[in-house]
Amino acid sequence: MSVEVTADRIILQGRCGVEEAEPLLEALRQRSDRVVVIEAERLHTALWQVLMALRPVIEGRTSEPFVIQHLLPEVLDNLTKGRLAPLTGHAGAAFAQPNTGANQ
Amino acid sequence: MDELLQQFVIEALELTQQASEDLLALERDPSSRPHLESAFRAFHTLKGSVGLFDLVPMQRVLHAAEDRLSTVLKGPAAFDTGAIDPLLEILEWTESCVRQLTARGALDAGEPARASALLGALAGGPVSAGGNPEPAAPQAIPDWAKSLLDLDPSPNAVAFRYEPPAECFFSGDDPVALMASVPGIIRATIALREPWAAADILDPFRSNLIFHALSLAPQAEIEAVFRLVPDQVSIVPRPQEGLAADASIGQQQRTLRVGVEHIDRLVDGIGELLAAKNAMTALVDEAKRLPGGLPLSRSISLAQQTIDRLAGQLQRAALRVRMVPLSEVMRRLPRLVREVSGQVGKRVDLVVEGGEIEADKAIVDALYDPLLHILRNAIDHGVETPPLREQAGKPPRGTIRIVARQLGYRVELRIADDGAGVDLDRVRSIAVVQGLIDPARAAQLSAIDAHELLFLPGFSTAATLTDVSGRGVGMDAVRSAVERLGGSVDLSSERGRGTTVTLSLPLSSAMTRVMVVDAAGDRYGLPMDAISETTRIPAAAISPIRAGEAFVLRDRTVPIVRLADLLGQPRPRRDDELVLVADTGAGAVGVIVDAIGERFETVLRPPTGLMKSVPGVSGTTVLGNGKVIMILNLGALIQ
């Protein structure tokens, strides 16, 4: 299982393929205030798109430089501009958004 | 480079080549009529094409050359070979002008003087035109690449744009992963093909991202990353000083002009391949059912995926060849507007946006006539005369704005004028006078329905038949022309503010996206472009309204039809119903079906033989299991 859904969190692990976009979308449709925790090595574009479209609160870490430098700003912008609180982590860059309840 | 200019450049070089060959043949045999005629035609066509641009020196010279040949053509005398040198000189000069146009989009300052020298030579004077060396000019680079390259001064920066198609996930593509593997990216921006849909209707399997990026890696390494999707990426290195002119000439020679019918044969063939490939799905299932057939079914499935991907690429590449920018038709319009508005004593500016959007050549070509009608109507009936406009507090010059937008698989063209709008009372009374509608009904028509009267065959509001419009071919001709292309036309207006005509057309006519549905125990295809959404509603949400049924969708009452009923095989009602919301031109309609199956792109075969006379069938296609299904035309079925 690479998409694990709990009451208030959606945890993405391992390699999330295109087929995981649907469970992710479904989980966010049910509860838009679930925090998405990215612990995955790689997310398929389809999942990034769901995150860009629905803009949930996101936490986690990734080691992909393209994702960190160019994609994440797109996923995280608007809602949280200037409120990114970088976490220190060992597996590449980490990122988190404070869950202020301001989203959606 | 400008699309029209680009075509002119290709054509001009062919024509000068043709004319030189003919002149040289005439030198050998001055009495050869076919060569004389061919040379005349080449000069004539060249002169005509040059007339599309503001190239006075070229036009003067080519006109004189054409005159010279036409005199020989009409007279009894044989061709005077003394004219060959000046004529060849003119051809050489024409080619050099074309190269200047290619490089800079304009002629050198010295060309008018050279033109006079050439004219003198043709008239019998000395030939004194010396060859000008063409200075190197920067190669035209697209705007998006330019703005990226402007962001970073590195001399070896390479800009690229990667535009994966919406259905690329099905070909196994992962655009973000591909972008992540591009070396040396220093800048990247991500744009959306279309705005995000709301969460409840978001299709997670449609790719929606367009990437623009700047990399410091060698171009070849970037190309290597995109080697499987070369048609989805454009790579523009920073132009190198001095090399640019050579590169642009090399580019020219790589252009190939091919007859549309050859491309069509290719597209048809690929369509058949895609349909044939669908049969492999059934093979996979069949292999699975064999004892111990699982490995075999996996191998077939793998092979299928590969063929899928390759066939998809082939199809995109072939369809891409048929795509031309809308500007090809749009740029013919300003001249027309100027002419027509002059005829009726009005002053009208035309503003055009979105000409860079590309659509299938057949559609772009066929758009000219409808646009012509709409513009004529707008100038003749919409925009007021300058005195009337000033009375109404408007600037004396009217404005017609044509804005093209791409919406998914469709292109929308809005043609809006800032004129008087439609006088609906007058439209109603004229429709009554012309016997198109009875008075009682006319009085009850809503504004939207009254606008529809304009589309009735034979409707004309012109009190006198002018040169411009009002000949009784009008909006009904526009609508039928656009519908033949698979499009729709709407008209709205606001009294005193103006009229807007909206055309919606498919981007490509060659392939149709089809959704398979089950109804009345059988399978049918529905064109996806007619379906705006699918939803499941409880039977209780459907309310009977007179003889029909309807349900409420986002505060809108939508009539419902049952596909099984339409097909004459009524089915019992269910607790909850699957509804496709379709736009049939006459507003949204909910269509109840039993189940929804696969979606795919296919070449629609038009119905033949007896099927042709069956209303509501727009063609047939082949399913994965080899079964032929009918593609239904919902609009026609519902009527």
Residues in chain A closer than 8 A to B207 (CB atoms): 45-46, 49
First to last CA, chain B: 48
Phi, psi of A61 (to 5 degrees): -150, 155
Q: Is the pLDDT of residue B465 over 50?
A: no
Average pLDDT of the residues in B294-299 = 88
Reading phi first (left if > 0) and then psi (alpha if -120 to 50, else beta), residue B542 is in: beta
The rounded radius of gyration (Å) of the Cα atoms in chain B is 30
B182 reaches A (C-beta below 8 A): yes
User: pLDDT over 70 for what percent of chain A?
Assistant: 71
Q: Which has more confidence, B213 or B140?
A: B213
Q: Does domain A3-96 have CATH number 3.40.50?
A: yes
Question: Which B residues in the span 212-271 are in contact with A, Cβ-Cβ below 8 Å?
Answer: 213
Partners of residue A46 in chain B, C-beta under 8 Å: 169, 204-205, 207
The whole-angstrom separation of Cα B426 and Cα B447 is 12
Collapsing DSSP to helix, strand or coil, B538 comes out as strand
Q: Which of A66-70, B71-75, B198-202, B273-277 has the highest mean pLDDT?
A: B198-202
pLDDT digits (tens, 9 = 90+) for B209-266: 999 999 988 888 898 889 888 888 998 888 765 444 444 444 444 567 777 778 878 8
Instruction: Indicate the pLDDT class of residue B568, thresholds 50, 70 and 90.
Output: confident
CA distance B16 to B41: 11
Instruction: Indicate if the pLDDT at residue B590 is higher than 80.
Output: yes
* pLDDT for the residue B499: 93
What does the pLDDT read at residue B626? Answer: 64
Query: How close A96 gets to chain B, by Cα (Å)?
Result: 21
Point out the least confidently predicted range of B128-137, B153-162, B381-390: B128-137
- The 10 Å CB-count burial string (b at 16+, else e) for A13-26 is eeebebebbebbbe
b/e burial code for range B564-576 (CB count within 10 A of at least 16 → b):
bebbeeeeeeeee
Q: Give the closest-approach CA distance of B176 to chain A in angstroms.
A: 5
Q: What's the token pair of residue B381? A: 């009936």
Query: Mean pLDDT across the stretch B29-38?
Result: 85
8 Å CB contact between B325 and B363? no
Exposed / middle / buried, residue A49 (Cβ in 10 Å: 0-12, 13-18, 19+): buried
DSSP state of B472: S
From residue B522, alpha-carbon distances to A65, B287, B597, B629, B632 in Å are 52, 25, 12, 9, 13
Average pLDDT, chain A: 74
The answer to whether B197 contacts chain A (CB < 8 Å) is: yes
> Letter for the amino acid at B349?
D
Domain B3-122 has CATH 1.20.120.160: yes
pLDDT band at A85 (very low <50, low <70, confident <90, very high): very low
Q: Quick one: pLDDT at residue A87?
A: 34
Pairwise CB contact (< 8 Å): B197 & A42: no
Q: Do B177 and A44 touch (CB under 8 A)?
A: yes
CA–CA distance, B29 with B415 (Å, rounded to integer): 56
Residues of B in contact with A29 (CB under 8 A): 199-200
CA geometry: angle at B23 spanning B17 and B26, to 5°? Answer: 145
Determine contact, residues B584/B634, Cβ cutoff 8 Å: yes
The pTM is what?
0.42
Residue in A22, A45, A65 nearest the CB of B207: A45
Cα torsion B40, B45, B51, B54: sign: negative
What's the pLDDT at B484? Answer: 72
Q: Lowest mean pLDDT of A77-81, B187-191, B414-418, B438-442, name the range.
A: A77-81
* pLDDT given for residue B605 in this prediction: 60
Q: How much is the pLDDT for A92? A: 41
Q: In this structure, how many other beta carbons lie within 10 angstroms of the beta carbon of residue B433?
A: 9
Q: For chain B, what is the total number of helices (H) and then of strands (E)? A: 22, 22
The two tokens of residue B624 are 């994965």
Q: CA-CA distance, B460 to A100, in Å (whole number)? A: 62
Residues B451 and B500: beta-carbon distance below 8 Å: no
The domain locations on chain B are 3-122, 143-252, 261-324, 326-506, 512-638
Q: What is the mean pLDDT of chain B?
A: 81
Which positions in chain B touch A70 (Cβ < 8 Å)? 179, 185, 187-190, 213
**Average of per-residue pLDDT across B463-486:** 63
Residue type, position B616, single letter = G
Count of all residues that appear for chain A in the document: 104
Residue A37 backbone phi and psi in degrees, to 5 = -105, 115
- Does residue B424 sit in helix, strand or coil? helix
Distance CA B25, CA B66 (A): 17
Count of CB atoms within 10 A of residue B303's CB?
Answer: 13
Tell me what pLDDT residue B503 has.
93
Using a CB–CB cutoff of 8 Å, tell me whether B205 touches chain A.
yes
B309 at interface of A, judged by CB pairs closer than 8 A: no
CB-based burial label for B345 (10 Å; 0-12, 13-18, 19+): exposed
Specify the range with the lowest mean pLDDT, choosing from B135-149, B196-210, B505-519, B622-636.
B135-149
A53: chain B residues, CB-CB within 8 Å: 196-197, 199, 202, 208
Q: How far apart are alpha carbons A54 and B571 in whole angstroms?
A: 39
Band of residue A91 on the pLDDT scale cut at 50, 70, 90: very low
Of B175, B197, B204, the CB nearest to A21: B204
**With an 8 Å Cβ cutoff, are B205 and A21 in contact?**
yes
pLDDT for B546: 81
The sign of the torsion formed by the CA atoms of B377, B381, B384, B385 equals positive
List, edge to edge, every strand of the sheet that includes B233-237.
Answer: B185-192, B209-215, B158-162, B233-237
Q: Which of B78-87, B121-130, B391-400, B445-454 has the highest mean pLDDT?
A: B391-400
* H or E element at residue B537: strand B531-538
Q: The CATH number of B512-638 is which of 2.40.50.180, 2.40.40.20, 3.40.718.10, 3.40.80.10? A: 2.40.50.180
Candidates A25, A64, A71; nearest CB to B204: A25
- Chain B positions in Cβ-Cβ contact with residue A52 (cut-off 8 Å): 196
Q: Spell out the SS3 assignment of B424-492.
A: HHHHHHHHHHCCCCCHHHHHHCCHHHHHHHHHCCCCCCCCCCCCCCCCCCCHHHHHHHHHHCCCEEEEE
Per-residue pLDDT, A86 = 37
The CATH architecture of the domain made up of B143-252 is 2-Layer Sandwich (3.30)
Distance in Å, alpha carbon of B592 to nearest chain A alpha carbon = 24
DSSP letters for B543-571? EEETTEEEEEETTEEEEEEEHHHHTT---
pLDDT of residue B471: 43
Instruction: Mention every residue, 6+ apart, whose C-beta is less than 8 A from residue A35.
Output: A8, A9, A10, A56, A57, A58, A59, A99
CA distances from B484 to A97, B42, B299, B515 (A): 52, 36, 44, 21
Phi, psi at B199, each rounded to 5°: -55, -35
Banded model confidence at residue B131, pLDDT cuts 50, 70, 90: very low
pLDDT above 50 (res B361):
yes
What phi and psi, each to the nearest 5 degrees, are found at residue B294?
-60, -45
Residue A25 reports pLDDT greater than 90: yes
Q: What is the pLDDT of residue B473?
A: 52
- Pairwise CB contact (< 8 Å): A71 & B190: yes
The answer to whether B351 and B401 have CB atoms below 8 angstroms apart is yes
Burial of B93 (0-12, 13-18, 19+ CB in 10 A): buried
CATH assignment, B326-506: 3.30.565.10
**The two structure tokens encoding residue B487:** 């499009």
Inter-chain CB proximity B175 and A45 less than 8 Å = yes
Query: Is B299 strand, coil or helix?
Result: helix
Nearest chain B CA: its distance from A88 CA (Å): 23
Contact B360, B509 (CB under 8 A): yes
CB-based contact B392:B380 (threshold 8 Å): no
Please judge whether B204 and A46 are an interchain contact, meaning their C-beta atoms are less than 8 angstroms apart: yes
Which residue from B169, B173, B202 is facing A25, i.e. has the nearest CB? B202
H-state helical runs in B55-188 = 56-74, 84-104, 111-122, 143-149, 175-180
Q: Tell me the percentage of chain B whose pLDDT exceeds 90.
A: 13
Provide the β-strand partners of residue B188.
B213
Burial of B614 (0-12, 13-18, 19+ CB in 10 A): exposed
pLDDT on residue A27: 92
| CA–CA dist B350, B525 (Å, integer) | 42
Confidence of residue B33 (pLDDT cuts 50, 70, 90): confident
**The pLDDT value given to residue B422:** 87
Local structure of residue A78 (DSSP, 8 states)? T
Does B189 sit within 8 Å of A71, measured CB to CB? no
Residue type present at position B343: Q
Among residues of chain B, what percentage have pLDDT more than 70?
A: 88
Residue of B168, B182, B185, B202 best to disrupt the A interface, most CBs of A under 10 A? B202
Query: Which two structure tokens, joined as six digits, stand for A14?
Result: 């391992």
Token representation of residue B56 = 């006075």
Q: Residue type at B164? A: P
B480-531 pLDDT, tens digit each: 778 777 778 889 999 889 999 999 888 876 567 788 999 888 899 988 877 8
Instruction: Count chain A–chain B contacts defined by CB atoms under 8 A.
Output: 71
> Which residues of A fall below an 8 Å CB-CB distance to B?
18, 21-22, 24-25, 28-29, 32, 42-46, 48-50, 52-54, 64-67, 69-71, 74
pLDDT tens profile A92-103: 444 555 444 444
Among A29, A65, A74, beta carbon nearest to B190: A74
- Chain B contact set for A24 (CB, 8 A): 204
| C-alpha atoms less than 13 angstroms from C-alpha of B544 in its C-beta half-sphere | 3
Cβ <8 Å between B204 and A42: no
